[in-house]
């Protein structure tokens, strides 16, 4: 079993540059095949599945899923994707380190997101609208991480421009 312990290691599996030390947004189809074996996560992850690829397991329990399903992973859990006919999963994954939550409003309110604590044998089914919203969130986060900051970015907020 592989251990996914940090963002650098995750990005290495996707042959992409680490743009933030605590957060990554990646497209599943770009993953190295070793990513789909048994992987223990030492971070939180949301995985949006956009095709049928084979069998999906979380903590050795098979999960029912469909196109547009969302699965959640918390530190200490394992995920395995057994690919059928070498069909790679398509979709998005947002991964973030637990220490990203420390001393933030999100960290204070994180207890409200109970779906990370749910151990169902089924992925979270999303409506078409929900799927579109979540997909757009992944895309927007990916774009934000890949947009280089410039020397004026911080200045515009401080000057109140655009508010």
How would you list the strands of the sheet with 54-58, edge to edge? 2-4, 39-41, 78-83, 54-58, 61-63
Residue 51 has pLDDT above 80, yes or no: yes
SS3 92: strand
Confidence label for 106 from pLDDT (cuts 50, 70 and 90): low
**Cα 135 from Cα 131, distance rounded (Å):** 6
Nearest to 124 by CA among 80, 59, 58: 58
Confidence of residue 65 (pLDDT cuts 50, 70, 90): very high
- The answer on pLDDT for 41 being more than 80 is yes
Residue 26 is encoded by which pair of tokens? 């990646």
The answer, yes or no, to whether residue 153 has pLDDT greater than 70, is no
- Phi, psi (degrees; rounded to nearest 5) at 53: -130, -10
Locate 49 and state its tokens: 């599945």
Residue 11, SS3 per DSSP: helix
Angstrom distance (rounded) from CA 60 to CA 58? 5
């Amino acid at each position: 079993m592989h251990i996914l312990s940090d963002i650098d290691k995750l990005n290495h599996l996707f042959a992409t540059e680490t743009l933030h030390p605590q957060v990554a947004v990646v497209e599943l189809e770009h993953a190295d095949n070793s990513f789909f074996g048994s992987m223990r996560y030492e971070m939180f992850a949301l995985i949006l599945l956009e095709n049928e690829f084979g069998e999906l397991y979380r903590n050795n329990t098979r999960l029912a899923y469909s196109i547009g399903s969302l699965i959640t992973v918390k530190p200490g859990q394992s995920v395995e994707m057994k690919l059928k006919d070498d069909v790679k999963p398509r979709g998005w994954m947002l991964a973030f380190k637990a220490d990203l939550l420390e001393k933030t409003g999100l960290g204070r309110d994180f207890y409200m997101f109970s779906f990370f604590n749910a151990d169902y044998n089924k992925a979270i089914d999303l409506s078409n609208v929900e799927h579109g919203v979540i997909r757009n969130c992944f895309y927007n986060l990916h774009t934000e991480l890949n947009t280089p900051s410039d020397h004026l970015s911080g200045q515009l907020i401080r000057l109140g421009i655009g508010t």
